[in-house]
Amino acid sequence: MITLKGNNINLRALEPEDLEFVYAIENDEDIWEVSNTQTPYSKFLIRQYLENAHQDIYEAKQLRLAICKNDSQKAIGLIDLFDFDPRNNRAGIGIVIQNEIDRTQGFGKEALALLIDFSFTQLQLHQLFANIGVDNVSSLNLFATFGFQKIGVKKDWIHINNSYQDEAIFQLLNPNH
């Protein structure tokens, strides 16, 4: 199983013990707009998901890792590669840190750096992409830190609170390809 270690955090494979954490994240309506979730998930479905989390990225077309502080194996967030396309050597990347205090500690930045490096060196991906709401300033700044470039805007893409919001698509090309 994958474990990526940084200075302050590590990224590890999901475990059955992460059920309550993943359940809380997936059912947090405040982040549904970034996760494209439209209905709540049951614990039964999340338990089934965790039972299949051992599938590798080539089989599942996704890699979801828990973000943990180095002094604990308790998850503080999740980071994903999704829509993995091995033929075209690309994947989407997304991240969520559960609580506000942890969002200001640089854990997201470190997690993103680890997964970008893994994606480009281990998976040999040519590109990563991210879908970010145009009003999500913290995510826009985070991804810009790593050189992600805005390549387009999907107009009226996200329906929130009876209105539509734009979503930008960002891309990072592997500098070694």
pLDDT tens sequence across 77-121: 999 999 999 999 999 999 999 988 998 999 999 999 999 999 999
Q: With 70 as the cut, is the pLDDT of residue 36 above it?
A: no
Q: What is the mean pLDDT of the chain?
A: 89
Question: What integer is the mean pLDDT of 37-53?
Answer: 72
> Lowest-confidence range among 4-8, 51-55, 136-140?
51-55
Q: How far is residue 142's CA from residue 103's CA, in Å, rounded to a whole number?
A: 11
What's the confidence (pLDDT) of residue 126?
98
Question: What integer is the mean pLDDT of 33-57?
Answer: 71
| Cβ atoms of 57 and 63 closer than 8 Å | yes
Residue 55: pLDDT band (50, 70, 90) is: confident
Residue positions counted in the chain:
177
| Cβ atoms of 76 and 97 closer than 8 Å | yes
